[in-house]
């Protein structure tokens, strides 16, 4: 699916693989300064600070390629393909070029060297090893970089090429299956967030590592993540890509429309499309939560800020590093600089005609898929009783 009026790029599709994730917190933004001298994060959202007018968008078109025989493919599950997809450099290029993501992690480490200096660090899902390299350069005594995909072989070469072989040990395998050369680590760092925050379910891997290896007073980076919900007007896109299936060259193909509605769309949303307030759904404390906390049901009430139509609900997340000297983090919201996570769009079956001050209420249930826990099942219940229309519905979504 391609998105609408805000750009010509193609959105991210979710067919089981990534294609080439209270009180207001104010994070500073200084994207033009040298990286060691910047402060805070590199983007902001109204959920964290005052709204930003920055509407730049990241263009992405990277593909996942696989390097195995047909017989190997026949024996693999969708969970195996998750790791294989990260074997290709393209997806790592996309993530590294996401400056909001990568610069924030770099700032956290370089500007808070007291956190990592002389400490033992575990990098969960290390990829190319970029976070391990940051930690090594900041003075960590040793870093264990764990990566399950074939990118681990490249990470070893990268570590050697940069002269950190004596500080960084790259371990190839699943966190749940490997054994570290040490009993405990002082810090766990990971970029575990997926689309809709929880897609791919890497969070449970971080929690497993925390419970097995982290010292009692150890630190998890990042340690807070929050999921938000808002509602948008999106008539042009919904008409072009979803309602299209009602009648195709004179034939009823509405069965495909039903499928299109079930699959959430990952794409950038123009901030001008936002119709309601942005509501906090869930905050997760990574240092304390249990794996079961990633399954939840949250109520919501979205109040219209103008007379308009609602075609979809939109979810996005913020991430915080609260152990820094100065609170640091970033947002993936539509009022912030774009990231490779974009936003997650849940299209409604019916159009809600809403007047300023009226509210759409309901609940959002989120849980890992029972067959493949890296996928997400979402159940949206919502109702609206306004001057122009009345609606009460339950919709099911599947992120694959």
Catalytic site positions: 191, 200
The DSSP line for 254-275 is HHHHHHHHHS-EEE---GGGB-
Q: Is 43 exposed, middle or buried (0-12, 13-18, 19+ CB in 10 A)?
A: buried
Contact between residue 54 and residue 67 where contact means Cβ atoms under 8 Å apart:
no
Q: Answer yes or no: are the C-beta atoms of 200 and 82 closer than 8 Å.
A: yes
Which residues neighbour 166 within 8 Å (Cβ) at sequence distance 6 or greater?
A: none
Q: Kindly state the helix (H) or strand (E) to which residue 359 belongs, with its residue range.
A: strand 359-368
Residues near 47 by Cβ (< 8 Å), separated by ≥ 6? 24, 226, 228, 278, 280, 318, 331, 333
**Residues paired with residue 282 on neighbouring β-strands, in sequence order:** 227
| 319, 197 Cβ separation under 8 angstroms | no
* Strand 376-385 with 359-368, pairing: antiparallel
Buried b (16+ CB within 10 A) or exposed e, 167-204: bbbbbbeebeeeebeeeebbbbbbbbbbbbbbbbbbbb
Per the listing, tokens 């766990």 go with: 188
Q: How many angstroms separate the CA atoms of 22 and 348, rounded? A: 27
């Amino acid at each position: 699916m391609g998105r609408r009026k805000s750009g010509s790029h193609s959105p991210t599709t979710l067919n089981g693989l990534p294609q080439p994730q209270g009180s207001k917190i104010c994070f500073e933004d200084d994207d033009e300064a040298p990286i060691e001298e910047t402060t805070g994060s590199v983007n902001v959202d109204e959920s964290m600070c005052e709204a930003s007018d920055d509407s730049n968008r990241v263009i992405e078109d990277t593909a996942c390629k696989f390097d195995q025989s047909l017989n190997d493919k026949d024996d693999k599950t969708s969970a195996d393909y998750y790791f294989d997809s990260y074997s290709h450099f393209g997806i790592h290029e996309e993530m590294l070029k996401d400056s909001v993501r990568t610069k924030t992690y770099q700032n956290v480490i370089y500007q808070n060297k007291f956190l990592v200096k002389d400490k033992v660090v575990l990098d969960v899902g290390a990829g190319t090893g970029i976070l391990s390299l940051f930690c090594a350069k900041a003075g960590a005594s040793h870093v264990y970089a764990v990566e399950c995909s074939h990118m681990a072989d490249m990470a070893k070469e990268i570590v050697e090429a940069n002269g950190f072989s004596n500080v960084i040990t790259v371990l190839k395998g699943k966190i749940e299956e490997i054994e570290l050369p040490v009993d405990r680590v002082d810090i766990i760092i990971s970029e575990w967030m997926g689309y809709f925050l929880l897609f791919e379910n890497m969070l449970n891997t971080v929690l497993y590592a925390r419970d097995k290896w982290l010292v009692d007073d150890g630190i998890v980076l990042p340690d807070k993540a929050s999921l938000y919900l808002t509602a948008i007007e999106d008539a042009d896109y919904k008409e072009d890509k979803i309602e299209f299936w009602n009648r195709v060259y004179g034939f009823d193909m509405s069965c495909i429309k039903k499928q299109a509605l079930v699959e959430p769309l990952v794409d950038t949303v123009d901030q001008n499309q936002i119709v309601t307030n942005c509501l906090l759904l869930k905050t997760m404390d990574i240092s304390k939560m249990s794996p079961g906390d990633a399954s939840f049901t949250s109520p919501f009430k979205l109040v219209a800020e103008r007379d308009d139509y609602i075609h979809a609900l939109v979810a996005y997340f913020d991430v915080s590093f609260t152990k820094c000297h100065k609170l640091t983090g970033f947002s993936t919201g539509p009022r912030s600089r774009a990231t490779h996570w974009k936003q997650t769009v849940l299209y409604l079956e019916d159009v809600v005609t809403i007047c300023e001050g009226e509210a759409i209420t309901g609940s959002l249930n989120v849980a890992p898929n029972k067959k493949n826990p890296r996928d997400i099942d979402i159940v949206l219940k919502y109702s609206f009783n306004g001057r122009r229309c009345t609606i009460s519905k339950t919709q099911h979504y599947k992120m694959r």
